[in-house]
Amino acid sequence: MDYKALGRYPAMLVAMLLCTAPALADPISVTDDDGHEVRLEQPAERIVSLAPHITEVLFAVGAGDKLVGATQHSDFPPEAEMLPRVGGYSRIDMERVVQLDPDLVVAWRSGNSQSQIEHLRELGFHVYVSEPRSFDGVSASMRRMAQLAGTETQGDEAVRSFEEAIDTLRQDYAERDPVRLFYQVWEQPLMTVNDDHLISEAIRLCGGVNVFGHLDRLVPRMDREAVIEADPEVIIGGGMGEDRPDWVIAWTQWEDMTAVQRDNLFFIPPSLLQRHTPRIAEGTRLMCEELERARLRRVD
């Protein structure tokens, strides 16, 4: 090549260099569930999750191999148990997060300390806050996390599968007779959910009526007398673990309650309903089946 001749044509040289240089990717920008814009110059490669359900969602959308840290109880899928721990979701080990040097931290609004979330931002970390309150919110959260991680293809597939499962349940359980139920989140203190909670959308899809859905707090504390007075037809509890229905069994001592008389005390593994993940479709299916069982036990 005659480089001297090429030097006479600087515009041509610039054009050639531009054609051969790698194209710069556009920055990634999403708005989180707190209304904050999260902007990354490129997909995140080092992600820290601050809640078990966030860890699960990141694996579901194909970003599991980008996780460098997670909170305690991040146990699904099994690979998540091998991740370095950064404390519990209610108290994050900030020093450990800093050591892991993530380019993205995904936090949980109603589970993580707001002051710790703000401190992470002050330290210069990109923080995405997750708080889905509906099935559509779960889908949106999955899409945004996939976008931030650069795994949109896997994310779209995961969202499609989740939405198809929910749509099938809607079709199968539409217009069923209502069933009044109490959903127990925790035992001491006794806790439930109101109608703004994601679990209540699962209840409504199945034709259930949350007897405490009208309360103001997202996760209200209850006294046992209020539950007895409400006399739900069904009690569903998450229990102390994936295979321990202890809390549900404890209600059998109140023999005058409708749920006890009809043996409508049901246990659903908490990870299937109490985590904001695609597996809530499976938890909802189990709930719908239990409510249908309760309908069949009615005395005409």
* Amino acid symbol at 217: R
**Same structural domain, 127 and 242:** no
Answer whether 149's CB lies under 8 Å from 66's CB.
yes
Residue 21 lies in a domain: no
Q: Which of 159, 185, 213 is the last residue of a domain?
A: 159
**Same structural domain, 225 and 139:** no
Residue 167 lies in a domain: no
**Same structural domain, 208 and 154:** no
**Same structural domain, 146 and 209:** no
In a structure prediction context, what are the per-residue pLDDT tens digits for the chain, which is 300 residues long? 444 444 544 554 445 444 444 445 688 999 999 999 999 999 999 999 999 999 999 999 999 999 999 999 999 999 999 999 999 888 899 999 999 999 999 999 988 989 999 999 999 999 999 999 899 999 999 999 999 999 999 999 999 999 999 999 999 998 899 999 999 988 888 999 999 999 999 999 999 999 999 998 999 998 999 999 999 999 998 765 555 667 778 899 999 999 999 999 999 998 899 889 999 999 999 999 999 999 999 876
Residue 6 lies in a domain: no
Write the DSSP string, 36-84: -EEEESS--SSEEESSHHHHHHHHHTT-GGGEEEB-TT--SSGGGGGSP
- Count the domains in the chain: 2
**Same structural domain, 195 and 288:** yes
What CATH number does residue 227 fall under? 3.40.50.1980
Residue 4 lies in a domain: no
Answer whether 138's CB lies under 8 Å from 276's CB.
yes
Q: Which of 129, 159, 189 is the last residue of a domain?
A: 159
**Same structural domain, 205 and 284:** yes
**Same structural domain, 68 and 112:** yes
Q: Which of 130, 159, 188 is the last residue of a domain?
A: 159
Q: At what angle do helices 198-205 and 280-296 cross, to 10 degrees?
A: 40
Residue 10 lies in a domain: no
CB count in 10 Å sphere of residue 24: 8
**Same structural domain, 93 and 186:** no
* Amino acid symbol at 220: P
146 vs 265: CA distance, rounded Å: 38
Residue 104: give the domain boundaries.
28-159
**Same structural domain, 155 and 33:** yes
**Same structural domain, 75 and 138:** yes
Residue 135 lies in a domain: yes
